[in-house]
Chains A and B, each alone.
Chain A
Amino acid sequence: MKVDEAPNPLAEGLHDYRIADPAVMVIFGATGDLSGRKLLPALYNLAKQRSLPAGFAVVGAAMNELSDDDFRKHASDKIHEFSRTQPIDGRVLDAFLSSVSYVKVDFGQLDDFKTLAKKLQQLDDANHVPGNRIFYCATPPPTYQTIALQLQASGLNKGEGYHRIVVEKPFGSDLQSARELTQTLQKVFAEDSVYRIDHYLGKETVQNILAFRFANSIFEPVWNTNLIDSVQITVAEEIGIEQRGAYYDRAGALRDIIQNHGLQLVTLTAMEPPLAFEAGAVRDEKVKVLRSIRPLIGEDIEQSTVRGQYAAGWVLGEQVVGYRDEQNVAPDSQTETFAALRLFVDNWRWAGVPFYIRAGKRMPKRVTEIRIQFKRPPHLTFGREAMKEVDPNAITLRIQPEEGISLKFGAKVPSAGLRIRSVTMDFEYVTSFLVEAPEAYERLLLDCMIGDPTLFTRADEVEAAWTLVDPIENAWRNGRPPLGTYPAGSWGPDTAAQLLQGDGREWHRP
């Protein structure tokens, strides 16, 4: 191994300190909501943790006519408003802002990209940066392809150093559009330089699913069809669609949540142990799960899926309107705000184990959890009467809120007789560590700077997910199964309960 390929020996032992090379990050859509709420505060917090190296620079790029100072003022305001850590440290902020500049870029104007290129070259020269670039598309998805092609046309995708592009979900609206997007991005950048960000994977508790499964030896031996009866995944929100009516009415719960978050949770729950926690191995295993999921086609879709839309009702004590009365929603909208699926992962480990996924808006509360339901003991040693209050064992992985893990098991009730009752053993992150987890964007931005795509979505993963979802989406657009309704503040339409009742099961109430 040559010296310049070897690990940096001075970095050994610096726990949790991951060193990124100096680079320039260009934020397209720098004056927008994502940039202001998430990206700029995350970068400030990385600076505060000393994770931004000397020579790192941020260039805001947007349509607005702004000077560098105008943009710095904008960035400062957003950081003050949205930073996870408060109060803001003036000296850290000043140092960070000194590395921030702005270029007006109209995505349709090649000349603007050429101006941007000149600016980046100046920064490289001043900062001893060998051309490392990250292009972050904090812009609406329809602009991704335009930006990528303009980067190509202006030569910004080539040269010394690395050149990475970051795009936010959704990655297309169906299989065809996802493929088109991938083709364009891959025309301009190598696949390993495309970072598809789904901030969900940056959450500590989502990553902990892998730690729970693969850092402990006691769970894997029971994590299969021999002992597991079923898996339930719930992604529930108490909020409605807020200001996103125009987008949501085109997307619906299936595309907005199930296609990405829901299937991500399925893959993390069902995947085989990767060889190592590194990008290739982890993502290979996730894709294998997606490809092992039995496709729902024809009548399967009517029997194994449920869609619903919320009507007026009460949520957390507040009266709310029905979906069709929300702003920017068609009065006769057929868009689902609730989706539930029954899936089977057709492989050795999971043969015959149903995975029930549900996601919805205007549910009684905000909760995301994975429940692993175990089979009943093969023999009732203590008799039916003693066991009547005992549920089967279950492990619940709570993603949010109250992040933690619960194990449910039977224990003898203290009494002269022999009566067994279900009890839970709880692990809560907050009480075990009591330290604040970093924002998902801090983790993911640093991963991108370091060049670690483990927590980003690969093209084949995106396509595999759309391959599963597209037939369902098409059937739903044709009214199969019919759209049910549910009162806001409930757990979905009656057909959702019936989906499990038909299997002799019921939804766990989170």
Chain B
Amino acid sequence: MKETPLSNCERRFLLRAIEEKKRLDGRQTYDYRSIRVSFGTDYGCCVVELGKTRVLGQVSCELVSPKLNRATEGILFFNLELSQMAAPAFEPGRQSDLLVKLNRLLERCLRNSKCIDTESLCVVAGEKVWQIRVDLHLLNHDGNIIDAASIAAIVALCHFRRPDVSVQGDEVTLYAPEERDPVPLSIHHMPICVSFAFFQQGMYLLVDPNEREERVMDGLLVIAMNKHREICTIQSSGGIMLLKDQVLRCSKIAGVKVAEITELIQKALENDQKVRKEGGKFGFAESIANQRITAFKMEKAPVDTSDVEEKAEEIMAEAEPPPEVIAEPVLWTPGTAQIGEGVENTWGVLEDSEKEGEDEGGSDEAVLPDDVKMDTAEVSNVGSQDAPIVLSDSEEEEMIILEPDKNPKKIRTQIVSAKQEKAPSKKPARKRKKKRIVN
């Protein structure tokens, strides 16, 4: 599908707004849109959001034989993909000019700046080295792809862990993650791209242009820098003449921005590591609601079984006798029967008793570590309940049911006649008019 053209009036408006130091989304000249970094459940998977632009990064590794002229160096491979999902104008499977330009810029930014120690990726010189592959997918396009992609690439690389390898004589052993903890890549520094858009032959400058600003800009300057203020790549495109002062000023701004972004990335990485260590929900799992039965699938958690017997006996001794449950079949209509705790739903009761579950019940929940307990408790609730009802009193639900709140309003406004709906009104210059539908 063709790209939506930019109308003359949009172009004129944007340029006039830039002259007045105003931007469409209310940002200042040097402001970035809000950046959000979230991680997947796997190592080396992340999503970076820069305003509405979203990039998914995924790192993978493989043992390959090295290049002939670099026998002791691992191989780095970057690939950015612009799918149609991001914008309808992107064609799948075609190397557009934009894509080639972005890919080369990324390679220059990340490979040529030697931010990753490729020598440490060597397993057996001349025979086996690690090939690290960074796949970046643009999920939504709202301008400034290169900044989002460079952040996603470096975050994914920092987050990635490769399997541990040991070499004894001629024998190479690859350890599974269960045997030995995977090792992170050694990263010297984090180069991050910062884009500057120039308008009116370099008169005006904007940081982090969005899609519409990118369309009216005259030139683009991309500076890749790390937090030590070392320039890794610099590229000017669009054919404008930049003065020395302008480039210097841009590099100063880039230094500030890179410091901020690096801090944000490190904070995000630390957070993720902390949550992973504690065994709580991390990555995308955070955003999966516990609403569906399929969402309850969980991996086996290690259970501390050192003093199970004593503990169980202690619990049994302390606990009150279990409540009387009469498992009587209830006959609803001829031919159907229900067996269970009774007619009423007893979930609320179960949920309540969960808090004192440690000293009561004597079930297997009591010996699980704290953080896993909640989840398993909910799982067992579902198991004990024969009706396939979704959990109704979990906390997540309150956040999810946002739509019904909106609905009443919608109903109000949408009970309108289709006739009038199809007659757009113009106020106040053009008067409202009604049009009859021609059947």
> A and B, one complex?
no
Interface residues of chain A, those whose CB is within 8 Å of chain B, are none
Interface residues of chain B, those whose CB is within 8 Å of chain A, are none
